[in-house]
Amino acid sequence: MRTIHLLRNFALLLILVSCSDPSQRTGNVGFEYLPLQTGQFVELDVSRTNYQRFQPDETIRYLTRETIGDSFMNSDSERVFNIKYFSKRPSQDWKQDSIGLQWRTKDKILAQEGGKTIVRMRLPVSNGLRWNGNLLNNQNERMFEASRVGEPHSDTYLSFPNTITIIRQDDSTLLSRNRYIEIYARDVGLIRRERIYLQYCYTADCLGKGVINSGWREISIIQKHGKQ
């Protein structure tokens, strides 16, 4: 009986340790937020507004789809997945725009974007973790930061109980506003992307008043996900 009692206490201790482990509560290992399975896809509703002073704002709506394709092994014995990017304008068929790559190492999730390698996530991920997203390319240092790890997120179409926000850029001055964030949901992938690049008026009559000279704002929101 004493042995059974000890085993029960040990099992209870394991449960308590698991529940108290932040990585169990938030999934902050990181892989869960950027799952890689051939055929998996997300579709996003994109709204892009272009700004030009003294001209009406122009808003464009369209859909994008990111689909995980076939994979191959690279020279470091890492499995690399092809990522296919599609777009669809109203009353038009889907068309493929480009192809990228995404893969995992022991402590990073990497992607090829615009012909350069980006460190999309550093592992294990946790609130406040910062890393150089341009570590593996020849661009200037760009510090990414993880926030809201494990928190729920709701948007126009869908809600997700466990997400992570990656802040790629968030700068604001009297002359400009630059913001680039992505939100990922556990076991789904990208669910929201927000990019803002604005140049403000700098003459004496409008400096510091937030008057936009030029720029654009683009918001992408997931409306569908699954596996083909």
Rounded Cα gap, residues 65 and 106, in angstroms: 28
Q: What is the pLDDT of residue 228?
A: 87
Query: Is there a domain that residue 13 lies in?
Result: no
Which range marks the domain in which residue 195 is found? 31-227
Check residue 8 and give its pLDDT: 53
Name which of 210, 184, 200 is nearest 42 in CA terms: 184
pLDDT tens, position by position, 72-105: 999 999 999 999 999 999 889 999 999 999 999 9
In a 13 Å sphere around the CA of 169, the CA atoms on its Cβ side amount to 15
Q: Tell me the pTM.
A: 0.85
Residue 159 lies in a domain: yes
Take residue 9 and report the two structure tokens written for it: 């206490």
228: which 2 tokens? 């083909």
Looking at residue 160, its pLDDT comes to 98
**In whole angstroms, what is the distance from residue 87 CA to residue 225 CA?**
15
Q: Alpha-carbon dihedral of residues 170, 189, 132, 28, nearest 10 degrees?
A: 100
Residue 42 lies in a domain: yes
Q: How far apart are CA 205 and CA 103, in angstroms?
A: 50
Q: How far apart are the first and last CA of the chain?
A: 53
State the total domains in the chain: 1
In a domain, 100, yes or no: yes
Residue 219 counted as domain residue: yes
In the chain, which stretches have pLDDT less than 70? 1-28
Residue 1 lies in a domain: no
The single-letter DSSP state of residue 55 is: S
* Residue 67 located in a structural domain: yes
Within-domain flag for 26: no
CATH number of the domain within which 118 lies: 2.40.360
For the beta sheet containing 130-132, the strands, ordered from the edge strand earlier in sequence to the opposite edge, are 116-122, 108-113, 95-104, 79-88, 58-73, 40-52, 212-227, 189-200, 176-185, 159-172, 143-154, 130-132
Strand 40-52 relative to strand 108-113, pairing: unpaired
